[in-house]
Chains A and B, each alone.
Chain A
Amino acid sequence: MLQMNNVSKIYRTDTVETHALREFSLKVEEGEFVSVTGPSGSGKTTFLNIAGLLEDLSSGTYELDGRDISKLNDRERSKVRNEKIGFIFQSFNLIPELNIFDNVDVPLRYRGFKAPERRKRIEESLELVGLASRLEHMPAQLSGGQQQRVAIARALAGEPRFLLADEPTGNLDTNMADSVMDLLGEINSTGTTIIMVTHELTLATRANRNIFVRDGSVSDGPGDLQLAAVAG
């Protein structure tokens, strides 16, 4: 499914080399809900960016659905992102000039779907997140929780195999965060693989498996047992 072997990511400036990931190895099976935790600067988001093909890796191998990602050109990588991966960001990242319908429409446009197919998918995904009645609303007219739901609908509209979530509840209050996590759980129950970066251990307990990242590598840190304690 998703497999990284000894992946390294180094950011270089003229004078400084920063190792964001070191010998990072991970395998995620289809249908899993994996949380990724770790201290700030540990490399969680770098891992997610590489997993989502938003950044190149410096060394190592990364296979997604059996394809070696490093061999793909920009067009192919964009196609993989569009068809197989859905993104959920902490800051929602909706386009403020577009209404809800058009925001969800963006990835479908790049997919090349015809208008009726796009409309069907947009309506279905907004229905799933409970915002079917807000098609014409602008992002600024929605609450934070609703905006994140729109972002989830946008991620789901293309029926991706993977959902990559970077602190999806980071900008939400507790009630809204619970509601979004419930929604992610529902989505995972339909077979979508979810990888969620979070620094909140309570949220990490909602996943099937937790990966703890420290200094750019998968570590033994507060693993599943500790999470169980947090949950308990």
Chain B
Amino acid sequence: MFRYYLRLGILSIRANPALSALMVAAIGIGIGACMTIVTIQYIMSGNPIPEKSDQLFHVRVDSWDPAEPYDEPNEPPEQLTYLDATALHAAGRANRQVISFLSSRVVQPAGEDSKPFQTQSRATTADFFAMFNVPFAHGSGWDKSADDTQERVVVIGQALNEQLFGGENSVGELLTLSGEPYRIVGVLDEWSPVPLFYDLNNNEYNDPAALFLPFSVAVAGEHGSAGNTNCWKPIEDGGVEAFRNSECIWIQMWAELPGEAEKAAYLQFLDAYVEEQKLVGRFPRPLNNRLDNVEEWMDINEVVDEDVSVLLGLAILFLIVCLLNTVGLLLAKVMKRTKDISLRRALGASKATLFAQYIVEASMIGLAGGVLGIGLTWLGLRGIENLFSIFEFVQKLVVMDWVMVLAAVALAIVSALAAALYPTWRACSVTPAAQLRIQ
């Protein structure tokens, strides 16, 4: 019967082209508006490392001002001091641990005609690549001995490798950064997690740094932080050394902890560390250490802007308005067809049979509305892209993947079915006798 219903649906749509087109347009516009916002929210809130996001924990210890919390109501700072970051990293109590900060280097290409340029670098430790499942096109990250010996090695991103070496395998080549030679040990494959979960306190929609080099090398070379730095008490005189010994926070730390037991043990370790530091006069606030996995950390940082949630609410309301219009249009269509419905009842169609017939027809309208909605979503995203073209990160938020395409079609069909329920019920409740007799 399904094929028969499909055929009847096509005939019905053909018989009422204007009404059908209006319904498709109402659903399509509603879906288009809704899915444009949903797509942006979906990308903003997407899990950038789903395979292990529940095993990666952002580390926070409350080294902040005793007079007031870092953030209300009682949030510890989002970064660590140099003293704490290096001590916790050196303790090596997690399966993997990474400390890092954002910096910048001047790249000096080898050719005489090429001009030097400044680019972002990330100073980090050896576990970074394995911990965050960073894909390599050539070579690999450095090992722990490079951290220990302050070896001048570097991993470069795909774009920088393309720019400097035409995309060829550049592992083993020397790269001059701010006047110092570094040996390239790895070239990344395409990698651009959205959001940039491991450094949410700088712009969460930035691309990863163009190059990665050992934390120890950056510290020894006095690479300045290009990320956020916050201090709750003045830095004593003494230059770089004084800054490193200060209570300024500027380093991010992550720990890989595969299970609840490991997480509990690591939190215990953090508490013990802080208690120990209290003995030397640091950490004046009560114990307030935190381990947040990737998704928790994204929530805390409100990666999805509140405005987007408001927009999403409005878009859903708009979709509901469109669906109410569709209900009205479907009702008009059904009322035009009461005679057909009555006749079919007289010829043996049960209410359930007619319900199925009309639901199939509504699904066809919904499918057409979904296809239109996908087109309008694409247009909406292009509109946002053009409107906010000065912000590079917007490019990352206006991408429609197959999940969103399927979601648009599914939402359209579900919406059409929801809109069809009442008119279909009305259709099936028609008293056949009243419609069949014309004298």
Cα(A55)–Cα(B430), bound, Å = 11
One digit per residue, 1 when the CB lies within 8 angstroms of any chain A CB and 0 when it does not, for chain B 346-385 equals: 1111111100000000000000000000000000000000
Residue ID in chain B nearest A49 by CB atoms: B433
* Interface SS, B side: helix
In the complex the two chains form, is A54's CB within 8 Å of B433's CB?
Answer: yes
| A14 interfacial contact with B, CB 8 Å | no
Residue ID in chain A nearest B351 by CB atoms: A74
CB contact under 8 A between A106 and B11, given known A54-B432, A55-B433: no
CB contact under 8 A between A79 and B348, given known A54-B432, A98-B11: yes
Residues of B within 8 A of A166 (CB): 436-437
| A93 interfacial contact with B, CB 8 Å | yes
In the complex the two chains form, is A87's CB within 8 Å of B346's CB?
Answer: yes
Q: Which has the most chain A C-beta neighbours within 10 Å: B350, B353, B431, B432?
A: B350
| B333 interfacial contact with A, CB 8 Å | no
Residues of A within 8 A of B438 (CB): 90-91
| A42 interfacial contact with B, CB 8 Å | no
In the complex the two chains form, is B346's CB within 8 Å of A81's CB?
Answer: yes
Cα(A97)–Cα(B343), bound, Å = 14
Residue ID in chain B nearest A93 by CB atoms: B343
Closest chain-A Cβ to B20's Cβ sits at a distance in Å of: 13
**Number of residues on chain A facing chain B (CB within 8 A):** 30
Cβ 8 A contact of A52, one of B12, B346, B439? B346
| B344 interfacial contact with A, CB 8 Å | yes
Cα(A82)–Cα(B354), bound, Å = 14
| B180 interfacial contact with A, CB 8 Å | no
Residues of B within 8 A of A91 (CB): 436-438
Cβ 8 A contact of B347, one of A98, A107, A167, A170? A107
Cβ 8 A contact of A78, one of B1, B4, B353, B437? B353
Cα(A74)–Cα(B350), bound, Å = 6
Residues of A within 8 A of B351 (CB): 74, 78
Cβ 8 A contact of B344, one of A74, A97, A106, A170? A106
In the complex the two chains form, is A75's CB within 8 Å of B437's CB?
Answer: no
| A111 interfacial contact with B, CB 8 Å | yes
- CB neighbors of B among A85-101 (8 A): 87, 89-91, 93, 95, 97-98
Cβ 8 A contact of B345, one of A54, A90, A98? A54
- CB neighbors of B among A160-176 (8 A): 166-167, 170
Cα(A111)–Cα(B344), bound, Å = 12
Cα(A89)–Cα(B343), bound, Å = 10
In the complex the two chains form, is B348's CB within 8 Å of A45's CB?
Answer: no
What residues make up the interface of B, taking CB atoms closer than 8 Å to A?
1, 4, 11-12, 14-15, 339-340, 343-353, 431-433, 436-439
